[in-house]
Structure 1
Amino acid sequence: MNVIDLHCDALWKLAESKRKLSYDSAEELDTNKKRLREGKIKVQSYAIFIEPEVRADEKFQAALTQIDTFYQEVLGKNSEMKHIKRWEDFDTLKDGEIGAMLTLEGVDPIGNNLSKLRILYELGVMSVGLTWNYANLAADGALEPRGAGLTLLGKNIVKLNNEQNVLTDVSHLCERSFWDVMELADYPIASHSNARALCDHPRNLTDEQIKAMFEKGGLIHVVYHPYFLRKDGNATLSDIVKHIDHLCALGGEGQIGLGSDFDGIDEKVVGLEDAGKTQALIEELLKHFSEEQVRGFAYENFLNHRPHLNK
């Protein structure tokens, strides 16, 4: 069964290696092309993530370097990898092709300059998360003690996302920022988050947040990080099933997807150590849900709820 995975950090890993890793088959990459094929990943999203310790005046260049890595190493050396630049591109992928979509994990690289965000849109960014775990000029993240909401800049970024038919990702926001986004965003998404009722971690969403996402037409893509699945981190495939089941119970059967966070996590779910093992998760889900439901989780729900028009 084909899968759309909404989050991985392969670009960060490739950039950190100074491009010494081959995207085709490097063992160090959870989401190398060989493993995407084995796991039947039909579309992989690639996050642009800049480490917090990078100097503020160097972050935009660091983002451009990761985008260049995407163009040169992922697309340029692998003809089967096709750049998803418009929402309609999902519908034109051929057999044997794998779609590749850019996302931004935290707007730190743009500072307070919306022109830089527009440049990132032009280069292919189709989903924007305002923060990583901490505070920046737009919002506070899930681990920021202050827990403040969106700044005026943050609100303007969400409005610009709306105008460009770009997703606004809530996965790393603190709760107050989350609720500010819900008031403004036309296309909210949680690219890699789980249910806090089952695993009490600040990166997970409360039932109230989950219901609000579903009521707004947003998608929640469950993440494979063991510590977002179980407090003790001893997670198995059945724990992913439990989180999906909980989301279904809150009314989200048609709005659930997958967001592995591969290449951004060191600990792994037993039996789901890299993208090549993804079909093991699909097989486990088929034991608990109908084939139609699992197709939804794997890829159809995202296709049904993506923005359809490009401006």
Structure 2
Amino acid sequence: MAALAPPVATVRTAVRRALAGLTGDGPVLVACSGGADSLALAAATAFVAPRSGRRAGLVTVDHGLQPGSAERAGTVAGWACEQGLDPVDSIAVTVDGRPGGPEAAAREARYQALVDTARRHGAAAVLLGHTRDDQAETVLLALARGAGPRGLAGMPVRRELAGVPLLRPLLDVSREDTRKACAALGLTPWEDPHNADPAYARARVRADVLPALVAALGPGVLENLARTAQLLAADTAALDDLAATALADTRSPDGGLRVDGLTALPAAVRTRVLHAWARELGASPAALSHRHVVALDALVTHWHGQGPVHLPGGLRVARRATRLTVVDPV
């Protein structure tokens, strides 16, 4: 018997660990574009899942943004059926007309399709093929935006979207290993031209910034960036727990917040309380920015009689004596 190629073993081990923590008896669905990362993930899941007593399927999303995309999605679906994956779905989505830029619109359409498909099949989780390299890129992009700890925490290993668990088993696996795993298994990945298109910030980071960092600082920089995200994710989760408790403790009977309770909190917890409260009031998470939270915080820590803070959604928050409260719009 030929020895198992180490990259194949690496990807299979990552999948085995991810499946070990799942509950429920529904299938797992691999989101697969046909690229090296998701193809290696799908092949590993097809091997590991049945041996773990769980069914595994695949869903591929056709964004309709490139010539031949429907045929390519059909090829991925056909390969999945040959591997014994079941169920297998190819979903066409419409990207045009969605808010945000092309990347954001495509991502929204893709995740909506994944969640809808997972619900239809009663899936226990959807597996995503993001790697350590993707995480490093995400951290660098967050740094460039001036993001706080939440942004620098990168992509989580697990999160829920509309009640569907999304798992990223490969965040500790390099992109090089997924390519080598595909080669060892005789699989030919699809190369997405968008990944090399300099019109996209992530493509520029991938082609220019990360190679420059590796050249200057050594190959360990990718792992270190991903580890930074992991450490910040743990810290952020702990601070979020503290903030949730503090939000409950500082509420006033009318639904506002008590200034004395807020003043006693460390700044890192207090700003999280204000951010969570603003979202609770109805401020859009996408539109709620750092400057809004700073303005709310100034009502607590730098009070000099200033007027209300205007939040997204037409909300106005003012300080009234010893509490923060929503006031009617003018």
TM-score by length of 2: 0.30
Identify the structure with bigger relative contact order (alpha carbons < 8 Å, sequence gap 6+): 1
Q: TM-score, with normalisation over the residues of structure 1?
A: 0.31
Q: Which has the higher helix share?
A: 2
